Amino acid sequence: MMKKVLALCLSGYSALALAGFDVVALGVDGGVSDGNLTSYLIRSDNQPQYLALDAGSLLPGIAKGLEKGSFPQVTPELAAPYTPQSYVFRQLIGAYFISHGHLDHVAGLIIGSPEDSKKNIYAQADTILTLRNHYFNWKAWPNFTDSGNGSRLGTYRLQTVRPQQRVTLGVTGLSGVMYPLSHDRYPSSMMLVSDRSGSFAYFGDTGPDALEQSRNLDGAWRALGPLIEQKKLKGMIIESSYPNEVEDKNLYGHLTPAWLLKELKNLTQYSGGEGSLKDFPVVISHIKPSLKQGQDVRATIKQQLEQGNDLGVKFILMEQGDRQTF
């Protein structure tokens, strides 16, 4: 018995962080492939409804998730008169968080809006303005929101989230606190999602503080560090868009494996120091595919992360439709 207790104490972060969140990847790429753009679903494992974390691709990702068995609770009988794909889309997504207004993070939301049910969209002020003024404006697309120009169809209620103020996220049973990020000096954001048992961090697009001339990532690390030290943060999703070979001047507000590892090293000064990120789950998102023959960007980024991983982080590269528990 004592040996089992000792093994538990020595086995790193994962042994002490009980599963509390169910995550399904609806889209994992950062552009080019329009059916696989950034979007994840997250729910507390004791709640039926998901919060969508960005919405680059929704319906294609749901279809892939159903194919992979990532929605075992959904049957044709339960979904009727809708298809299982439509049931997940209309009934199981309870709200949206949009990290920023770029098209690869909102395309699925916009295209799917005519068939969606009434929901709240949560985002920082700049993103709300982008959705209202540039997408749902009867020029780019009909206005399926409750504000803005022209007839308001009212499917979506736009909810402005203020930095570092907790907000209840629709009917998902989750709450969240938003932290600002800098994406080529364009406003992006991180949402710290919480339930009664713990928290999970989702990062929109972000560059490293050094290149962005910002302290935004440092602010996020200051918020997350104590939660990691207390074993309350179950994991995070963060981008690594390009391999290390891409020059800093061509990153345009994104991270490489080298920059991500450097930023995670900065995180350790707030999370308990050396060894504090051992086995901590970090899902890598927003990888930009190459259209050149013989280039496997995902494999390259995975290798570069593993080679530089002296922090002991548990890097996870989810594929579209995959499901993970944290």
200/198 Cα distance (integer angstroms): 7
pLDDT in tens, 37-59: 999 999 999 999 999 999 999 99
The amino acid at residue 110 is I
Nearest to 80 by CA among 90, 69, 93: 90
Name residues whose C-beta falls within 8 Å of residue 113's C-beta, 6 or more positions apart in sequence. 136, 141, 142, 144, 155, 156
3 vs 89 pLDDT, higher one: 89
Position 3 pLDDT exceeds 50: no
| pLDDT reported for residue 78 | 95
Task: Give the DSSP letter of residue 167.
Answer: E
- Six-digit token pair at 247? 């020059």
Per-residue pLDDT band at 8 (split at 50, 70, 90): very low
Confirm if 281 and 326 have CB atoms less than 8 A apart.
yes
Position 17 pLDDT exceeds 60: no
pLDDT in tens, 214-232: 999 999 999 999 999 999 9
Confirm if 53 and 237 have CB atoms less than 8 A apart.
yes
pLDDT in tens, 228-279: 999 999 999 999 999 999 999 999 999 999 999 999 999 999 999 999 999 9
Place of tokens 């093994």: 7
Position 172 pLDDT exceeds 60: yes
- Six-digit token pair at 202? 């989702």
- Six-digit token pair at 312? 């002991």
Sketch out the chain's domains with CATH numbers.
20-325 (3.60.15.10)
Poorest-confidence range of 166-170, 182-186, 225-229, 237-241? 182-186
316 vs 7 pLDDT, higher one: 316
Mean pLDDT, all residues of the chain: 94
| pLDDT reported for residue 19 | 56
